[in-house]
Chain A
Amino acid sequence: MSERGHIPESRQREKPRADLKWIGKSMKRVEDPRLLVGKGVYTDDVNLPEMAHAAVLRSPHAHARIVSIDVSKAAALPGVLCVMTGADAAAVCDPLPTWASPPVLQPAIAHERVRHVGEAVAAVAAEDRYIAEDACELIEVEYAPLPPVVDPEEALASTGDAVLHPDRGDTNIALERKLTFGPVEEDFAAADLVIERRFRWPRSGGQPLETVGAVASYDEGSGRFTIQCNTSMYNYCGWMIADTLRVAPHKLNIVPTLAGGSFGSKMFVHKVPIIAAALARAAGQPVKFMEDRIDNTTSCDNHASDRVYYAKLALKRDGTLLSLKTRIIDDYGAYFQFGVGQHGNALSQCVGPYRINSVEVDLAAVLTNKCQQGAYRGFGSEVANFVIERLVDAAADELGMDRIALRRQNFIQPDQFPYLIPTGNMYDSGNYQAVLDETLKLADVEHWRAKQAEARAEGRHIGIGIATCQERSVFSATEFWMWNLEPGVEWTSSPDGVSVKIDPTGKAFVTLHSPFWGNSPETVAAQVLAEQLTIDPADIEITYSDTDQGLNSTGPGGSRFTVMVTGAIVGAAGKIREKLLRIAAHLMEADVRDLALEDGAVHVKGVPDMKMSIAELADKAHYYRLSMPDDLDLTSGLDATYVYDHPVTTLPDADERHMGIFYPIMGHSCHIPVVEVDIETGQVHFLHYAAVHDCGTMVNPMTLEGHIRGGTVNGIGTALFEEFRYDEAGQLTTALWTDYLIPTIKESPADIVVGHVETPSPFTEYGVKGGGEGGRMGGPPAIAAAIEDALKPLGVTIDSLPLLPSRLRALIREAQAKQA
C-alpha cells in the first residue's frame, strides 16, 4: 500500500457501449406530466381525517436563557389541542440524530437556552393553522439574553457566557484538527513561490419553493408512528428518528412524499417530523407541520458552508504546482448535524484537476448563534473548488502566465487514471484537456477577447473567466465520520436498492427506495430498466417505498442517484433476465446459452421464428407452475430485489496518512463566463456563458443539461447575490426572499451554452457518473475570475463573495481612489 492507499479491482458488469437504445437518450421526464398538471402529492397535499395543524413559536434572541415560559393563555385558546415547550419535548424525546462524535446535543424544541434566532421555543397543535399561529402569539416567554457570537474568527476565542454548549467545555470550537497528506513541508521548502490569500465564502443555502413538512400520526393501539415527510435518507437511517421519539425502530414508518425542490436540503430532515410526531402523540390526533418561509430560512437544514480560508499554494517558477496548505475556520452555527462531513467532502477533490503533491488542512469548526449547517449542492466541495481556482488564477497572474496555460500544464493526464490524490481519494477517470478544448470552442474566447479590447477603448469593462473544476459524485459513508474526534458512527456501507417486478401481463414495476428529491429518479430508472430488459419505458411504472418496505438505500444526496440506481437496476434486471432465459429454455427446449433477450422477447439465436415475448414468459412464470422446470429455487412470478453497494470505497488509513477512497466517481467541468461590469453601479451582466461537463456516460443528456444550467444559476446566486447575513446581534437580516436575493431569469445569462465530454467511469455500470451539483461547483470561481478580468485595468482582486452591486462598487471605488 502506498502513502495514498490502494485501488481495488473494478466490479463493473456493464461496459459502456455505443449501441445502447435508451441510455444516452434525451427522453422526456416520466415525472413531468403529473407534476406539471398539479397532481403530484407533496407533503402539504396530505390530509388525514381529524388532522390538526402545528405552528412553532421561535426565538427572537440569538442567545439567551429561557427564564420562564407561560403557555396558559395559549392552551386556553379555543381550538388549541396541545402546547409543547422544550421541557415538555425533553420529557418525551431524546436529542436529535447527529453524525458528530462527540455530539453537540440538539433538542427539537429549545430547552433552557436558545442558541439562534428562529430556534423553536414552543410548538402548538390546533384545529387549524390560524389558531395555532394565534396561540403562539399568546405564549409568554421571559428570556435572559446571553452574549451573541456571530463572527467565526471571534468564536475561536469565546469563553464563559458566550459559550453555546458549556457541557462540551469552555469553548465554541466544536472540532479542531490538522491533517497532513504527503510531504507538505518539503514541498513548501522546495517552492520558488508561495501564493497566499484570505478567502471568505458566505453562508448561503438551498432555497426550495416547498419548505420542509411532515404529517405525523400515532396509533395508540399498536404504539406506532407513521410520518409522511419530504425527507431523504429515510431508508438508510430513518430509525434514528424512532430513537429520538423513544420508540423501537419498527414502531415507526416513514413514508416519503415528493420533495418540491431540495438543492441538497431535506437531506435528513429531523426537527420537523419529530415536532409533528411528538405533537401527534401528545394531542392524540394526526398533526401536519409545514414550515412557513421564515421557519425554513431561520431554522432548517438549508444553511451551508460559511468559511474563512487562509490558503497557501506552493509552486515552482516554471508553473509546476507543488503543495496546498489551508487554515479553515468554518462557522457551523449552533449545532453540528453532519459533523464536519462538509470538509470530508472537500478532501475528495481539494487539489482540483491538478497534480499537487501534498496537502495540509488545518480546520476549526466553530459554533455560533446561527442556524445549523446542513447540506447544500456541493456540500463543501464547491468551496474547495473556489479556493483552488482562485489560487491558480493568482499564481498565473503572479508568474505573468496565461491562466489557461497554467491549468493545462498542471492537469492530471488522461493516462494517469485511476489517480489517487494526496488525501487518498481516487479520481476514477478523466480527460481535462478535452473538456477545456471543447469549452474554449463553445465560448469563442478569441471573439470575446476582441470585444473586450474594443470595450476597454470605450471605457467599458468586459471580462472573461475560466474555472476547471472537479465534480465528485457518489460519496461513501466514511466522509461523514473520518474527521470525528471519537469513534461514533463508523459505517462503511452506502448502498442503494431497487425492487423490480414483471407482472403476468409483462408490465414492469420498479420500487425505488430513495425519494423524489426534485430530480429525475423515475426517468433514470425507466431508461436503465428499459435498456436492461429491452422493453419500452412506457411499460414501466415507478413507485417509492416507505421504511416498512424499504431496502437499505442511502438516497440521492451527493450526486449519487444515477450511478447507484443504475447499478441496482443492473443487478435486479440481471436476476430477472436469468429467470426469463431459464423459463424460455425450458419451454422452447433450447440451451440457455443459445438464447438472447432482444426487443422484449427471448430469441433462439439464429432461428428467427423461435422466440417468446416477455409477456408470454411472464404469464407462464406466474400461472403455469407445472410448465416450469422442477426447481425449488425457481419460484412462481418474476421479481427481484438488488442492493447495489458503493462501487469502490476503501477504509481510511489507521494512521491517517490518507482517508481512503470515499468519493471516487469524479466528473469534471469547465466554465467560461463573459461578463460586463457597470463600474458606476457595480452591477454585473452576463454576455455569454459556456459550460462543458464530463459526467461519464450520460443516461439522459436533457436532464443532465437541466442540472448543469440550474446548478450554474445556483452558482450565479452564490457568486453575486445570496447570503444569509446575520447582524452583530445575531439577527438574520435576510430571512425573506426580498432580502435573500435569488437570481431570476433577469439576472441569468440569456443562454448557458452547454457541452459534453464523455469519459466513462471504469468502476460504475455503463460508466455513468453523477452530475447533480457541478453547475454550482464551477460557477462561482469562474464568475469571480471574469469579474476580476473585467476590472483588471483597475486592479481589483476578488476573494470574497457574494459580489453584490454595493460591494463590488465599494471595491471599484477603493481601486479608483488608489489609482487617483
Chain B
Amino acid sequence: MYPFTYHRPASLDDARARLAASEDGRPLAGGMSLIPTMRFRLSSCSDLVDLNAIDGLAGIERHEGGIRIGAMTRHAAVEASAEVREAIPALAALAGSIGDVQVRNRGTIGGSICFADPAADYPAGILGLGASVNTDRRSIAADDFFTGLYETALEDGELVVSVDFPVPERAGWAKFGNQASRFAVVAVMVSLAGGAVRLAVTGAKSHVFRVPEMEAALAADFSAEALEGIAVASEGLNEDLHADAAYRAHLVGVMAKRAVRAALAP
C-alpha cells in the first residue's frame, strides 16, 4: 500500500465534501476489491472516504414497484433477506454465490457495481433483472450503467445510494465460478416479466452484456430447449488462465440453459 488519508464521515454530504476536497479520493464501501488492489500497489489514492458510518445507506425494502436495496447492504443480508427470497429468489441465489462467507459479510451491492469488475456477479443481476441504480443525483437504467472494463456511467464524485429491482414473474441464476475467488468465469441471470425476457452474462467480456438472440428465443418459448443451437461467438470474449474464449462461449450456452431451468424450477 501507498500512504493515504483515511476519512470516516457520518453523512452523505460530508462524504461528498471530503471527496470533492481531495486530490484523488475514493469512496470505500466493503473494500473487498479496492483494498486488495491497494495492498498490491495496483491502485492508490490520496484519500479514502469510508462510507460505513453513514446511516441510511443499508437496508432492504419491499414496496409496490419492487425491492429497493441500499447501496451499503451486505451480500449476506441480501442472501438471507426474506423479502428478496420471496420476491426474487434468483437475486438471493446470486448474492449467496458471491465469494465466501467473509466476503459476503463485508462486501456491498453498491461497492460491487461501482467497482464494475468484469467478473462480478451483481452486474448480471442488475442488467438481467432490469434494475435501476439510484445515485445522489439521478436514477440510471441498468442498460446504461455498465459502460466498460471497470467503468460505469457514474460521474466524478457521484455516489450510489440504492438499487431498485422490479419483481419479475420468473428469474434464474446460474454461475460457473472461479474456484479460488468465486468470481464468475461465466454467470447468467435471466428474467421474464410481462412477456419480456432479459438475459445478462457476466464474466465473459469486458463488462456485462445481454444476448438478444437468446432473449428473443426465450420470449417465444421460455424453456432451456429454446436455446438449443444458439451459440455465442467466441470472438471478443475474455481469455485467461481459467478459460479460453471458446470454452467461455460454450459455458455461456450451458449457463444460459441452466439459468432458464433454475427460473422454471418450482
Contact = CB atoms under 8 A, between A and B. Distances in A.
B250 interface: yes
B247 A806 contact: yes
Interface string A452-496: 000000000000000000000000000000000000000000000
Nearest to B36: A738
Contacts of A804: 242
Interface in A782-820: 804-806, 809-810
Interface stretch (A120-128, A651-659, A739-747): A739-747
B188 to A, nearest CB: 13
Interface in B186-212: none
A738, A742, A744 interface centre (most CB from chain B within 10 Å): A738
Interface string A728-749: 0000011001111111101100
A739 B247 contact: no
A622 to B, nearest CB: 54
A721 B241 CA distance: 12
Nearest to A723: B241
B115 interface: no
A717 to B, nearest CB: 10
B181, B241, B243, B244 interface centre (most CB from chain A within 10 Å): B241
Given A747-B179, A806-B247, A739 B241 contact: yes
Interface residues of B, number: 13
B254 A680 contact: yes
Given A738-B181, A809-B250, A681 B244 contact: no
A809 B247 contact: yes
Contacts of A746: 179
B244 A741 contact: no
Contacts of A743: 179
B160 interface: no
A117 to B, nearest CB: 16
A806 B242 contact: yes
A524 to B, nearest CB: 34
Say what secondary structure dominates the interface of chain A: loop
A20 B181 CA distance: 48
Contacts of B265: none
B21 interface: no
Interface string A703-729: 000000000000000000100010000
A738 B241 CA distance: 11
B247 A741 contact: no
Contacts of B254: 680-681
Contacts, number: 33
Contacts of B247: 806, 809-810
A721, A725, A806 interface centre (most CB from chain B within 10 Å): A806
Interface in A142-165: none
Interface string B220-241: 0000000000000000000001
B71 interface: no
Nearest to A682: B247
Contact of A741 (B180, B243, B250, B251): B180
Given A806-B244, A809-B250, A741 B179 contact: yes
B241 A734 contact: yes
A429 to B, nearest CB: 40
A733 B243 CA distance: 14
Contacts of A721: 179
A739 B180 CA distance: 7
Contacts of B250: 809
Contact of A738 (B180, B244, B251): B180
A681 B241 contact: no
A742 B180 contact: yes
Contacts of A740: 180
Contacts of B179: 721, 741, 743-744, 746-747
A747 B182 CA distance: 12
Contacts of B241: 725, 733-734, 739
Contacts of B176: 681, 683, 805
Interface string A681-707: 101000000000000000000000000
A20 to B, nearest CB: 43
Interface string B242-266: 1110010011001000000000000
Contacts of A681: 176, 251, 254
A734 B241 CA distance: 8
A130 to B, nearest CB: 8
A136 to B, nearest CB: 11
A652 to B, nearest CB: 43
B252 to A, nearest CB: 12
B55 to A, nearest CB: 34
Contact of A737 (B180, B243, B244, B251): B180
A725, A742, A804, A805 interface centre (most CB from chain B within 10 Å): A805
Interface string B156-181: 00000000000000000000101111
Nearest to B254: A680
A747 B180 CA distance: 10
Interface in A593-650: none
A810 to B, nearest CB: 8
Nearest to A810: B247
B240 to A, nearest CB: 8
B243 A806 contact: yes
Interface of B: 176, 178-181, 241-244, 247, 250-251, 254
- Closest 10 A/B residue pairs (Cβ): A680-B254, A741-B179, A738-B180, A806-B247, A738-B181, A741-B180, A806-B243, A739-B241, A733-B241, A737-B180
Given A737-B180, A738-B181, 14 more contacts: A680-B254, A681-B254, A683-B176, A733-B241, A738-B178, A738-B180, A739-B180, A741-B180, A743-B179, A744-B179, A746-B179, A806-B243, A806-B244, A806-B247
14 contacts: A680-B254, A681-B176, A681-B251, A681-B254, A721-B179, A733-B241, A738-B180, A738-B181, A741-B179, A742-B180, A743-B179, A806-B242, A806-B247, A810-B247
